[in-house]
Structure 1
C-alpha cells in the first residue's frame, strides 16, 4: 500500500517573511510570493519549509511551483514523516467524523474527505451509497496522493463497490479506480429523501452535498407554501420543500438535463406530479417575467453559481448578487420568505449580507434575518482558513 507518492527527496523551501505563527495556528497554504525562491521540481514533490530568520524547519507538505498556492502544509511538526502511516491516520480520523451518518441510517450521501479541513490537503471524496467520486484539486495533489491506493483503502474500510476519479472538467479525463464506471446516476439518501448523483458528468461530484443542512431548513418552512426554487439544478431544495408539505413547487434552471432530473427526483419520492413544475429558463429572465406578471411565491430560494471566481471579480459579483436578490424579492409574497445562498469563497458573510440588504432595499422591501446557515459537519474547515468556509445561506422574512 502506498497512499502517497514519495518518488523524490524533499525540496527545501524558505519563507521570505514571518508567517510562522499563522502556519502553527493551522493555516495550510503558503503562497508563492511568500517564498524566497521557487526551485524547479515536479508538482507534488514533498517539501520542508524553513522560517525566514534562522532557517529552522517549521512544517512539511508538498510543493507545486506552478500554482499560486506553492506549498500545501500537511504537518506542522517538522519531525513527523509524511508516509503511509501518517496518511492512514488522517484518513481514519476523517472517516470517524462521518460516523454520524452511519448511526442515523437516513443519509448515505456525504463528503468523506474534505481536503484541508481533514488535514488531507487537496483530497476530496464524496460517497453516494455504494459509490464514491474522488477529486484531486490540481497538479500538486495529483502528484502527491495516490488516488488508486486511496480508492483501495476506501473499498476495504467502507465497503464501496465503485469509485470514480473526477478531473476538473465534467466527463473529461476521469478514470475508474474501483468497479465499473457508473454509467447512470447513482441513487442515494439524504435525510430520508431519495436523490441521484451523476458522478461522471454532474456538477461538482454529481450533487451539492454542502447544502444538506440548508435544504433541511427549507423543508421545515415549506408547509402549505407555494415555493420557487431558482438555479434549482436537480431540485435539491425543491424535493425538501415537497417533503415539508409545500402546496406547489416550481423549479427553474437553464439546463434541460437538470430539470429532467428534478422532475425525476420529485416522482422518486412519491410526490404528486401535479404539485411540481420544472421550467427550463434563464433565471434572470424568468424572475423578470414573473415580476412583470405580478406572480408571487410564499418561499423563494436563490442558489446561484459562484459569481466571484477570484478576488478581482468581487465588485462585479456583489452587483450580480444584489441584482438576483432584488429580482427574487420582487416575487416574494408579503411576509414571505426569501432564501439566498452564495458559494463564492472570495465573498465573506458581511459582504453577502450587504448584498442581501441592498438587493432587498432596491426591491422596495424590508427584510428580517430568520437564520444564517453554512456548510454541514462533513465539510469541516481549518479555524485559521476562513476562505474554506465559502458557503453562506441567509433566510429572510420580507415585509
Structure 2
C-alpha cells in the first residue's frame, strides 16, 4: 500500500474539489517542488478538514487529479477495478455493436481517473498514460483491467516525456501480439489500425459521429476537400456516402500510403481519389490560383502545428484558416470546422466563424453541432475535458 501524504491546499482549490472539479490546479498549492510523481495526497482545506484523495501526475496546468472524496477508500487494485468495471458497463451498447469494433472504454477524469485513457480495438486494449504519476500505478491498473475484461492483448502509449526511460520496441504489454494492420469497423466502414507504430494508431475515435454524419447526409454527389487529412478517415466516409471525388491534403509524407491503405481496406478505387502531400496553406493558395472550388471542405487542424513556412495555432489562426476555406467553397457548400483545442469553448469558436465570414463578405448558417461521442465520457464540472467542437456550416 502506498503512503498517503497530508497536504493543505489553498481555499480556492478546496472549494473546487468540494464541488467535484477533478483537477488539482498547480496554483492551488503553496509549493509543489516536494511532491513526487505518483504520490497519493490526502487533501485538506486551510482549516485542516479532509476534502479528498488525489495523486500527483504533472500534466499541463494541473499537478494531478482527484481520485475519491472518501477518506477511508484505499487507492489499490480494487479501487481501479471498480472504476474500470463501471466504465465498461457504460459502453455495453458499443461492445454489442458488430458495426463498430473500436471505441473508448475509459476516458480519464470522465470515468474517475484523470490522466488515463483505455481504447478498445476488436479484442485488443490500448492504454494511454498522460503522466509519470499515473504510469506508476501501471501494475495495479493492468491487474484491474484483467479482472474487468477479457482481452486478446494489451498495448500502451506513454504520452509524457519519458527521457528515454520507458522505451519498448512496439508498445506491447501482455497477451498475444496483434497482427497489423488490425482491421476494425466503425459504423460499418473499415479502418487499418497499428497499435505498435508510434503515438498515433491510424484513426481518431472522437470524430466517429462526425464521420457518420458526413457519410449519411453531406457527401452524396459532392466534391469533398479533406484538409489535415492524416490517414483519410473523413475521405473514406465521404466516398462511402457517394462523393463524386475526394481530395485529401496533409503535409506528412506517410499520409499518402496511409490514406491509400484506408481506401483499399474498404475496397474503394484509390485511383479515383486525389491524395496530395502538401502544406494545407500552400494548397489553399494553389486551389485559389487554379480556381478550384468544393462542395464540402473539412477543416480538422491540430491545435498547434509548425512547418518550414508556417506556424499554426488554432486559438490565434483559425479565423484565417477558415477564410482560406471559404474562398474555395462553392455557393451553398458546407464547411465542417473542427477543433480539439481545450483552451476555448464553443462560444469563442463560433466567434471565429462569424469573423471569417464577415471578412469574406459571405453569409452562413450553422446546421449541425457536435462535441465528443458518448463513449468519451466527460465531467460536467471540468469543461476542458469536453474539448471537441465541430460545426457544419452552410456557406451562402
Same fold (TM over 0.5): yes
Q: Deviations over 1:192-248 (max 9, x none)?
A: 100022223355454210111111111121111111111111111111111111111
Q: What is residue 77 of structure 1 aligned with on the other side?
A: 70
TM-aligned CA distance change 1:316 to 1:261, over 3 Å: closer
Q: What is residue 12 of structure 1 aligned with on the other side?
A: 6
CA distance in 2, matches of 1:347, 1:204: 24
Residue 233 of structure 1 aligns to a residue whose secondary structure is coil
Q: Deviations over 1:329-374 (max 9, x none)?
A: 1111100100011111112111111112222233332211011111
Conservation of the 8 A alpha-carbon contact between 2:219 and 2:242:
yes
1:247 aligns with 2:248: no
CA distance in 2, matches of 1:38, 1:280: 45
Q: What is residue 215 of structure 2 aligned with on the other side?
A: 219
Summarize the alignment of residues 45-56 of structure 1 with structure 2, pairs less than 5 Å apart: 45-52=39-46, 54-56=47-49
Summarize the alignment of residues 157-196 of structure 1 with structure 2, pairs less than 5 Å apart: 157-168=148-159, 173-174=167-168, 175-182=171-178, 184-196=180-192
TM-aligned CA distance change 1:161 to 1:155, over 3 Å: farther
TM-aligned CA distance change 1:255 to 1:12, over 3 Å: same
CA distance in 2, matches of 1:189, 1:66: 32
Conservation of the 8 A alpha-carbon contact between 1:318 and 1:355:
no
TM-aligned CA distance change 1:257 to 1:182, over 3 Å: farther
Q: CA deviation at 1:66?
A: 9.0
Identify the range of structure 1 (105-114 vs 38-47) with the bigger mean alpha-carbon deviation: 38-47
Conservation of the 8 A alpha-carbon contact between 1:26 and 1:383:
no
Q: Deviations over 1:38-82 (max 9, x none)?
A: 362431111100012x21101011124797422310012223222
Q: Deviations over 1:85-121 (max 9, x none)?
A: 2221111011111111122211111111111110022
Match 1:292 to one of 280, 289, 300: 289
CA distance in 1, matches of 2:272, 2:350: 32
Residue segments in structure 2 that go unaligned for 5+ positions in a row: 307-311
Identify the range of structure 1 (377-386 vs 273-282) with the bigger mean alpha-carbon deviation: 273-282
Conservation of the 8 A alpha-carbon contact between 1:170 and 1:203:
no
TM-aligned CA distance change 1:99 to 1:65, over 3 Å: closer
Residue segments in structure 1 that go unaligned for 5+ positions in a row: 1-5, 310-314
Match 1:200 to one of 177, 193, 196: 196
Q: Which runs of at least 4 in structure 1 moved beyond 6 Å after TM superposition?
A: 169-172
1:150 aligns with 2:153: no
CA distance in 2, matches of 1:73, 1:206: 32
Q: What is residue 340 of structure 1 aligned with on the other side?
A: 337
Q: What is residue 330 of structure 1 aligned with on the other side?
A: 327
1:31 aligns with 2:22: no
Q: Deviations over 1:97-156 (max 9, x none)?
A: 11111222111111111111100221111111122221111121112x22x453455456
Residue 19 of structure 1 aligns to a residue whose secondary structure is helix
CA distance in 2, matches of 1:170, 1:40: 20
TM-aligned CA distance change 1:332 to 1:240, over 3 Å: same
| TM-score relative to the length of structure 2 | 0.90
Q: What is residue 371 of structure 1 aligned with on the other side?
A: 368
Residue 304 of structure 2 aligns to a residue whose secondary structure is coil
Identify the range of structure 1 (161-170 vs 188-197) with the bigger mean alpha-carbon deviation: 161-170
CA RMSD of aligned residues (A): 2.4
Conservation of the 8 A alpha-carbon contact between 1:114 and 1:379:
yes
CA distance in 2, matches of 1:193, 1:244: 11
Q: What is residue 384 of structure 2 aligned with on the other side?
A: 387
Residue 228 of structure 1 aligns to a residue whose secondary structure is strand
Report how many residues are paired: 385
TM-aligned CA distance change 1:18 to 1:286, over 3 Å: closer
TM-aligned CA distance change 1:30 to 1:153, over 3 Å: closer
1:396 aligns with 2:389: no
Q: What is residue 309 of structure 2 aligned with on the other side?
A: none
Conservation of the 8 A alpha-carbon contact between 2:78 and 2:144:
no
Identify the range of structure 1 (355-364 vs 285-294) with the bigger mean alpha-carbon deviation: 355-364
Residue 268 of structure 2 aligns to a residue whose secondary structure is coil
Conservation of the 8 A alpha-carbon contact between 1:307 and 1:320:
no
| TM-score relative to the length of structure 1 | 0.90
1:126 aligns with 2:122: no
Conservation of the 8 A alpha-carbon contact between 2:315 and 2:341:
no
